[in-house]
Amino acid sequence: MKNWQGRTLGWELRDGVVELTLHREPCNEIGTETLAELEKFVAALGAARSEAHAVIIYSSLKQGFSAGADLRELYSGMQGLPAGERAKGVRSFLERIHKVMNALDASPLPTIAAVHGVCFGGGFELALACDLIIADKLARFCFPELRLGLVPGFGGIPRLKRDLGNGIVRDLLLTGRSLNAARAHSVGLVSQLTAEGEALKVARATAAQMGKFDRETTAAAKRFAKPIPHDELRREIDLFCELFTRPAVEAGLKKFVESKEALPYLP
Amino acid sequence: MPTMNQTLEEVLNLTAKQFNVPRAELKPEDDIFKKLGINSFQALELLTRLEQHFNIELPDYEFQGVTDFKTLAERIQSRL
């Protein structure tokens, strides 16, 4: 697998571990450009099995892992389009991002999200597609989508339901509040909690440990322990598209995009 | 359990330390966001540090409604 640098992310093979670095300012918002580069990444990952034993995803930006979907791009892209066209465009995006998330989820290589700072919305969904989340003490996890009149659209609810009890799923989803890393660790979302700035280092040590095991056995164990909820993921796309064309969504996005408040992620 | 004044003092001390502001410049009635000029990422970091310090959870929607340090301390006090 050749090292590669794009405009929003890059990857390198380091000590048998594929490290995907997110680096799109301000906080790795996932729009069409990031999506295209993630597609490139999962295509390359398919060929990495002979050289690598694990994958780490992390952000090189101070603000955090990812603030989620690029809502500014989403809002500007929907302007002037009739409802039918809006739904068509968003469905196409969701189909593509789901393919990326599913490929990552199903990768025979164990995957680790090394998280610091903000891990919101689509960024949280990217972390949930990984096998382990290793987070530093200042990380926060949130699904703010309901505040915009939407549900998470990159596979968040089915994957969260797969991993956690339904009480905490409803708490995150229905309040839109963010959980700190300690709480996320206590409910089983985060597998290892680290000191500030140490998530990547701990993720590398964990990946090295994973490299001691037989790769076929690791892949079989992962398939057995982590079934992909395909039916629910399909239904999530339908639900998101159904909700997306309602006026409340455009109003919520407009408020977010035009906000000058210190906490604009809270519509 | 600490008194309201103790909680307020701890909030002011912690904020001064995090944002490298002289403690004497922070007043209970100051508008947190205007006084510190912080963005959403910094506000979240402050929230996390407060939660760690007081060993509580303070939902974002409560934090969002706060404008001054005194009200913030009251919100924290109600969860101690």
Range among A55-64, A67-76, B29-38 with highest mean pLDDT value: A55-64
Distance from CA of B45 to the nearest CA of A (A): 7
Distance from CA of B66 to the nearest CA of A (A): 11
Average pLDDT over residues A165-182: 94
Single pTM value for the model = 0.94
Collapsing DSSP states into helix, strand and coil, what is residue B31?
strand
CA A90 to CA A86: how far, in whole Å? 6
Q: Does A25 touch chain B (CB under 8 A)?
A: no
Residue with tokens 């939660």: B51
What the block records as the tokens of A13 is 């093979």
Tell me: pLDDT of A265 over 80.
no
- Which of A25, A66, A180 would best serve as a mutation to test chain B binding (most B beta carbons within 10 A)? A180
Q: Which residues are bridge partners to B74 per DSSP?
A: none
Fold entry, domain A4-258: 2-enoyl-CoA Hydratase; Chain A, domain 1 (3.90.226)
Tell me: pLDDT of A215 over 50.
yes
- Which of A174, A263, A265, A266 would best serve as a mutation to test chain B binding (most B beta carbons within 10 A)? A263
Q: Does B10 touch chain A (CB under 8 A)?
A: no
Q: pLDDT 10s per residue in chain B (80 long)?
A: 889 999 999 999 999 999 999 999 999 999 888 888 888 888 889 999 999 999 999 998 888 878 899 999 999 999 99
Average pLDDT over residues A259-265: 61
Judged by average pLDDT, the poorest of A94-98, A125-129, A193-197, A245-249 is A245-249
Other beta carbons within 10 Å of A104: 23
Tell me: pLDDT of A83 over 80.
no
Domain boundaries, chain A: 4-258
Q: Does B4 touch chain A (CB under 8 A)?
A: no
Tell me: pLDDT of A261 over 70.
no
Q: Which residues are bridge partners to A14 per DSSP?
A: A17
Cβ A7 vs Cβ A24: under 8 Å? yes
Residues of chain A positioned with their CB less than 8 A from the CB of B57:
179-180, 183
What pLDDT is attached to residue A96? 97
A264 contacts B44? CB cut-off 8 A:
no
Digit-coded pLDDT (tens) for A31-49:
999 999 999 999 999 888 8
Task: Please report, rounded to a whole number, the percentage of residues in chain A having pLDDT higher than 90.
Answer: 81
Write down the ipTM of this complex: 0.89
If you count residue pairs, one on A and one on B, with CB atoms under 8 Å apart, how many are there? 52
Considering only the beta carbons, identify the residue of A64, A177, A181 that sits closest to B60: A177
What pLDDT is attached to residue B22? 92
CA A78 to CA A178: how far, in whole Å? 27
According to CATH, the superfamily of the domain at B4-77 is ACP-like (1.10.1200.10)
Residues of chain B positioned with their CB less than 8 A from the CB of A178:
44, 60
Distance from CA of B80 to the nearest CA of A (A): 16
Pairing assessment for the beta strands A118-120 and A140-142 based on DSSP bridges: parallel
What pLDDT is attached to residue A262? 53
Tell me: pLDDT of A264 over 70.
no
Residues of chain A positioned with their CB less than 8 A from the CB of B63:
263
Considering only the beta carbons, identify the residue of B41, B60, B61 that sits closest to A117: B41
Digit-coded pLDDT (tens) for A131-161:
999 999 999 999 999 988 899 999 999 999 9
Considering only the beta carbons, identify the residue of B41, B49, B64 that sits closest to A64: B41
Task: Please report, rounded to a whole number, the percentage of residues in chain A having pLDDT higher than 70.
Answer: 97
List the single residue in A with minimal CA-CA distance to B60: A177
Q: Which residues are bridge partners to A7 per DSSP?
A: none
Residues of chain B positioned with their CB less than 8 A from the CB of A27:
41
What pLDDT is attached to residue A267? 41
What pLDDT is attached to residue A263? 55
Q: Does A191 touch chain B (CB under 8 A)?
A: no
**Phi–psi pair at B33, nearest 5 degrees:** -70, -40
Residues of chain B positioned with their CB less than 8 A from the CB of A182:
51-52
What mean pLDDT is reported for chain A?
Answer: 93
